[in-house]
Amino acid sequence: MNDLNDKPYILALDSTAVTAAAAVMKGEELLASAAVNGVRTHSETLLAAADALIGAAGLKISDIGLFACAAGPGSFTGVRIGVSLIKGLAYPKNKPCAGVSTLEALAYNLHITARDALIVPVMDARRSQFYNALFLDTAEGRQRRLCADRVLSFDELMEDLLTVEPVKPIFFVGDGYDLAVSKLTASDFDGIKERFRETPRLLRRQNAASVGAVALFDMAEERLFTHQTLAPVYLRMSQAERVRLSGSKEKN
């Protein structure tokens, strides 16, 4: 991986939620991007979008030096689609891959916009839970992670936020934004309500450019993968696995 120059061409994808997003970058510079919200399946849109964006940027697939995707958490099918596509594109030339946290990429949407604040990604994990991690946006460049990616209930998240130091304004981001805000409005967590700030609508959902930006941090820290080692990241079993396990227990 030492053949990467300081500013490689990057193809970045995010298919972990309703939004299917793709971007082509030269280092931190965004060259082309696209996002589709729920019109067609991600398997139908992502490859075509990636191919179109690479062409729009005046590049060929062989020019891409780093293939990046949001590797989870998120929709089990969506995560697999993005990871599989990146693995397949990186394979012919054995190019390096970055599998970044969906939650960290979401938090990066608010980098600079929510300076000196607590960024709270909230992805709807169903079953009355959210995929979440906490990030402190600082002036140093990369947001500081305060906890590992996790899955928890709204009340558990609010109770945790009340203990986080330092006390900062709070910004939600992610496809669970509206649900989290409605729950907060109806709750008794006044200490959180006072610190809550509205996130601009255009910054609330998946953005592939943020995936590419986080991938650059991973590259600098030598935390890249090959097409063989890149893998999805799940925080809990899929529904099919839960049903299978439940059936197995009943038989025993």
Which domain covers residue 151, as residue numbers?
110-203
Q: Are residues 20 and 91 in the same domain?
A: yes
The reply to whether 47 falls in a domain is yes
Q: Are residues 23 and 85 in the same domain?
A: yes
The reply to whether 250 falls in a domain is no
Q: Where residue 181 sits, what CATH number does that domain have?
A: 3.30.420.40
Give the full edge-to-edge strand order of the sheet including 29-37. Answer: 29-37, 19-26, 9-14, 66-72, 97-101
How high is the pLDDT of residue 244? 46
Q: Are residues 143 and 84 in the same domain?
A: no
* Cβ–Cβ < 8 Å for 87, 219: no
Q: In tens digits, what is the pLDDT along the chain, a chain of 252 residues?
A: 334 457 999 999 999 999 999 999 999 999 999 999 876 689 889 999 999 999 999 999 999 999 999 999 999 999 999 999 999 999 999 999 999 999 999 999 999 888 889 999 999 999 999 999 999 997 666 799 999 999 999 999 999 999 999 899 999 999 999 999 999 999 999 999 999 999 999 999 999 999 999 999 999 999 999 999 999 999 986 554 444 444 544 454
Domains in the chain, number: 2
Q: Are residues 150 and 97 in the same domain?
A: no
Q: Are residues 53 and 97 in the same domain?
A: yes
φ/ψ region of 127 (left if φ > 0, alpha if ψ in -120 to 50, else beta) reads left
3-class secondary-structure state, position 86: helix
The H-assigned helical ranges of 17-162 are 42-56, 76-90, 102-108, 154-161
Longest dimension (CA), the chain: 60
Q: Are residues 69 and 188 in the same domain?
A: no
CA proximity to 217, closest of 132, 135, 100: 100
pTM of the model: 0.91
Place of tokens 């910004």: 171
